[in-house]
Amino acid sequence: MSDQTNVRAADYGLPMYFDMQAKMGHTKHLGGRYATQKLAELCQLEPGKTLLNVGSGSGISAAYVAETYGCRVVGVDLLPGMVESARSWAAAKGLADQLEFRVGDAQDLPFDDNQFDALICESVNAFVPDKEKAMREYIRVVKPGGCIGFTEAIWVKAPSETVAEIIAEATGQQFHSPEVWEALFQNSGLVDLHSENHPLSVRDEARNQSGLVGFRDYMKILGRFFRLLFSDRETRSLMRYVGSNPRQYFEYMGFGIYTGRKPK
Ligand SMILES: C[S@@+](CC[C@H](N)C(=O)[O-])C[C@H]1O[C@@H](n2cnc3c(N)ncnc32)[C@H](O)[C@@H]1O
């Protein structure tokens, strides 16, 4: 798979704002630090363990997990620009020894069988066309007894067709009901399943998002964002589009956390 940074998100059918996020060095998932901590705890991350973070984006969660739980983290992402961005973040945080990032597709992971103690995906599988195939890959690369965890954006309240269309356009992703993610786990052969679903609270969300990066880094990311906004016409038009994300629809949105274990 190409390691060149001139590959665009649209080439893979991914939302165009991923290109902007790669340049800004900032991706996110609903639930922010809360969801990451919960996955780390459910997967019992600790020093000596190796985690695979699929769809690692800008590497912020991967670095947070490596720093907080002392484990080694390998990140893999489809977009070379994201991998570049994650490598820079790891170097800036002084965590390059604990972190490694590679280009790769969730549906065809570039790793041997039974390599990782745990695997997490944060707001990734909604973008993956063949979710069952990706799940088979996750199970293949995790060691027997290893934990697989997702956090994904969900509908907490059934939306009308219009609301679903508006949200899909504004966020670039298809939200699902919790049952879709729960069924993926139930049909996978994983054991010890855990599922929890949370509505979106705007106040908690702001705290959970900034909680993964810290105030100083958040300011630096904001600085990069404003520089891009001034210098890049494409970013300006994208922001007009993404900025239309309608707050009145937050009541329909939430995030789910799902984990299971590969049988021993
Ligand atoms: C919403 S971002 C989340 C990034 C990161 N997990 C986070 O929480 O900040 C989704 C990420 O998944 C990646 N992605 C989408 N489809 C993928 C696939 N098939 N294989 C690997 N990564 C993928 C995107 O490039 C993007 O970096």
Residue nearest to atom 11 of ligand 1 (CA): 55
Report whether 254 contacts 159 (CB < 8 A): no
Where b means 16+ CB within 10 Å and e means fewer, 78-104 reads bbbbbbbbbbebbeebebeebbbbbbb
- Measured in Å, residue 13 CA sits from the centre of ligand 1 at 12
Q: Is residue 113, in this structure, part of any structural domain at all? A: yes
Q: Is residue 2, in this structure, part of any structural domain at all? A: no
Q: Which of 16, 27, 36 to mutate to test the pocket of ligand 1 (most atoms within 8 A of CB)?
A: 27
- Measured in Å, residue 182 CA sits from the centre of ligand 1 at 20
Q: Is residue 204, in this structure, part of any structural domain at all? A: yes
Q: Is residue 106, in this structure, part of any structural domain at all? A: yes
Q: Is residue 4, in this structure, part of any structural domain at all? A: no
Which tens digits make up the pLDDT trace of 166-218?
A: 788 777 888 999 999 999 999 999 999 999 999 988 888 888 888 888 888 88
Q: Is residue 1, in this structure, part of any structural domain at all? A: no
Which tens digits make up the pLDDT trace of 27-65?
A: 999 999 999 999 999 999 999 999 999 999 999 999 999
Residue nearest to atom 14 of ligand 1 (CA): 55
Q: Is residue 3, in this structure, part of any structural domain at all? A: no
Q: Is residue 225, in this structure, part of any structural domain at all? A: yes
- Position 5 confidence tier, pLDDT thresholds 50, 70, 90: low
- Measured in Å, residue 47 CA sits from the centre of ligand 1 at 25
Q: Which of 48, 110, 43 is nearest to 75 (CA)?
A: 110
What is the pLDDT at residue 2? 47
**Which is the closest atom of ligand 1 to the Cα of 107?**
19
| Residue span of the structural domain in which 208 resides | 9-261
The 10 Å Cβ neighbour count of residue 169 is 13
Number of domains in the chain: 1
What CATH number is given to the structural domain containing 87?
A: 3.40.50.150
